[in-house]
A and B are shown apart, each in its own frame.
Chain A
Amino acid sequence: MNLMSILTIGWYTLQPLLWVIVVAVALLVLVQLLARVRGYYFLAPAKIVSVVMSFMVGLWAMVIVPILTDSSFTMVATGFDWFALTLVGLGVGAYCWLIVHPMIYLFRPSLP
């Protein structure tokens, strides 16, 4: 399978999810821009709640994604299943952190 094949399959796979991807990217860009205008930077100190919340959302994603795929958590069986599901959890958790971390910075009691 060449690169063109992969790109074509990827295009057809993502087509039904395009609106989700667009909304997610727009939200990310908006929050990051707003926060950076007000002095936020990537490793700005923030409350531990951003990490805890992202971790919890990642775990929640690992439970909910099998259901969203017409399956269930109990069907996750093989090593590759767990690898794929872990990647989903990490991805969702990382995305959540990229949203929550600057938002906590924005809404902290006193801006610098």
Chain B
Amino acid sequence: MSSKKLKTGASHAALTRRDLLKVGLGGAAVSMTGMTPAWSRDSNARGHIVIVGAGAGGLALANRLARRLPMAEVSLVDSKPQHWYQPGLTMVASGVWRADEVISDNQRWVPSGINWIQARVTRFEAEDRRLQLDSGDTLNYDYLVVATGLQVNYEDVEGFSADMIGQHGIGCVYDTPDHAAKTNQVIADWIDSGGGTGLFIGAPGAVKCAGAPLKMTFTTLSRLEDTGHRDQYDVHFASAGDRVFAVDFYNDFVLQRWQEQGVERHDHHPLRGIDASARRAWFDTPDGERSMDYDFIHIVPPMSAPDVVRESDLVWTDGPFAGNWLEVDQYTMQHRRYPEVFGLGDVIGAPINKTAASVKAQAPVVEENLVAVMNDREPTAEHNGYTSCPLITGIGKAMLAEFGYGNVLLPSFPFIDPKDESWAVWIMKDRMLKPAYYAMLDGRV
């Protein structure tokens, strides 16, 4: 095992024009209001913090810590050169956005003053506070934040693999801009064929953006209705259980709307596998195996924490998340057995919370509690489970579903009724949320 010590010192790159602008804006804001914002509070806490994962959670926290902990050493571990704005993938797969609109360079979001290690973690050694990297290096830490995101387990659907997306009428909005663009193309091809059967699969369990399968169904219905020949297309939706959304109101709304739109629903139809060349899907229903033929299928594969987390000591060992998701206290985001470890984003085992909006709410909690632990205090900040889904109910309109643990509605805007379809909410999805997301990556929201 290599014991080569990685360079973890801060690399103080020159200030960019963007940095200067933000410093200027920040200074002006502070002087105008006289307030001391949370992000400017200093902390003299020391230690080596390693953040694994440069996705939404990792970058948001890295930017917050870079400002908050000037005396600490922060390392960010991820090999990805690109950042994907994943909430935009449904817009790409619906033909509203181009794929390149969700892609940016990760370098753009990595703050100066932290050490970006472009490698993958191959093993978590929690007892020894150590990581093994695919470069052969070993990385020791005092504090660890696991923000790896999740992995899409394509192979858990028999006969399916990721390279089939875009062929044989198979779509899958998840995971990459390329998948989303190919999904848009196969939907367009199906529509151009003039008729046939579209089969949409519901979430098989905990998945990121659990509303995405519904959004794909709604936007495809919009496209079908725009042809003027909606009656030539059959649309089916197969759910693993008897619900399509966690919150009762939205569940009932979607089911009612689909009934009006002629969507045929199939409850208790978990997808077992497909025969891609025959365009046939198999389901394990309570009445036994059932098959359905399709011309287009939108598949939602099972998802889990990445294998490197699942195979580590950090994974849940009992309960509904056992063996699949990172074990944390769902309120403090602190690992339940390793107090120096925190989790953030899609990787954690929690009842809901696999959205960018969840990351927005979790990052300040992790920041506060990590700083508390570094200062030998109890972590007191709590995440209320906030998550948000701009539920697209057609191309051009959406509902703003915001809720937390217990599926309690947590609306942010008093002037937007969370139970109304709205053009304004669509604009938020289409134009406002990406800027808000980028501000979150900057650690400003």
B423 proximal to A (CB < 8 A): yes
Chain A interface mostly helix, strand, loop or mixed? helix
Interface residue stretch chosen among B68-76, B178-186, B241-249, B429-437? B429-437
In the complex, what residues of B have CB within 8 A of residue A5's CB? 439, 444-445
CA–CA, A87 to B436, complex, Å?
Answer: 22
Contact A80 B444 (CB under 8 A): no
Give the CA-CA distance A5 to B443 in the complex, in Å: 9
Interface: B337 (CB within 8 A): no
| Shortest distance between the CB of A5 and any CB in chain B (Å) | 5
Residues of chain A within 8 A (CB-CB) of B422 are 77-78, 80-81
Q: Which of A2, A9, A66, A75 contacts B435 (CB 8 A)?
A: A9
Residue on A nearest B396 in the bound complex, by CB: A71
B29 within 8 A of A: yes
Are A70 and B430 touching (Cβ within 8 A)?
Answer: yes
In the complex, the answer to whether B435 meets A4 with C-beta atoms within 8 Å is no
Q: Is the CB of A4 within 8 A of B432?
A: no
The reply on A69 being an interface residue by CB < 8 A is: yes
Q: How distant is the Cα of A70 from the Cα of B438 in the complex, in angstroms?
A: 21
Interface residues of A toward B: which range? Answer: 20 to 34
B180 to chain A, nearest CB (A): 16
Q: Are B444 and A66 in contact (CB under 8 A)?
A: no
Nearest-Cβ distance from residue B166 to partner chain A, whole angstroms: 23
Which residues of B lie under 8 Å from residue A72 when comparing CB positions? Answer: 396
Among A7, A12, A76, the most chain B Cβ lie within 10 Å of the Cβ of A12
- A3 at interface, CB cutoff 8 A: yes
Question: Which A residue's beta carbon lies closest to that of B25?
Answer: A7
Contact B395 A8 (CB under 8 A): no
How many whole Å from A7's CB to the nearest CB in chain B? 5
Question: Does A60 make an interface contact (CB < 8 A)?
Answer: no
Q: A84 contacts the other chain (Cβ, under 8 Å)?
A: yes
Q: Count chain A CB atoms within 10 A of each CB in B32, B38, B394, B436 and give the residue with the most.
A: B436
Main DSSP-derived SS at the B contact region: helix
CA gap between A71 and B222 in the complex, in Å: 11
- Contact status A2-B423, CB under 8 Å: no
List B residues 412-435 near A (Cβ within 8 Å): 415-417, 420-424, 426-427, 430-432, 434-435
Q: Are B37 and A2 in contact (CB under 8 A)?
A: yes
Chain A residues whose CB sits within 8 angstroms of the CB of B439 once the complex forms: 5, 8-9, 12
CB pair A12 B435 closer than 8 Å: yes
Q: Does B397 contact A (CB under 8 A)?
A: yes
**A41 is an interface residue with CB less than 8 A from chain B:** no
Any A CB within 8 A of the CB of B442 = yes
Contacts of B426 in A (CB 8 A): 69-71, 75
Contact A3 B397 (CB under 8 A): no
Interface string of B6-33 (1 = CB under 8 A from A): 0000000000000001100110011011
CB-defined contacts of B432 to chain A, threshold 8 Å: 9, 13
Q: Are A12 and B438 in contact (CB under 8 A)?
A: yes
Which B residues touch A84, using CB under 8 A? 423-424, 427
Among candidates B415, B417, B435, B445, residue contacting A1 with C-beta atoms closer than 8 Å: B445
Q: Is the CB of A78 within 8 A of B435?
A: no
Instruction: Give the residues in chain B near A12, CB-CB below 8 Å.
Output: 434-436, 438-439
In the complex, the answer to whether B25 meets A77 with C-beta atoms within 8 Å is no
Q: Which residues of A contact B (CB under 8 A)?
A: 1-5, 7-13, 15, 66, 69-72, 75-78, 80-81, 84-85
Q: Given contacts A8-B439, A9-B435, A71-B423, list 18 more A-B pairs with CB under 8 A.
A: A3-B33, A4-B26, A5-B445, A7-B25, A8-B22, A9-B436, A9-B444, A9-B445, A11-B25, A11-B435, A13-B432, A69-B430, A71-B396, A75-B397, A77-B397, A80-B416, A80-B422, A80-B424
Would you give 9 A-B contacts (Cβ < 8 Å), ordered by A?
A: A1-B445, A3-B33, A3-B35, A8-B439, A10-B435, A71-B396, A71-B427, A78-B417, A84-B424
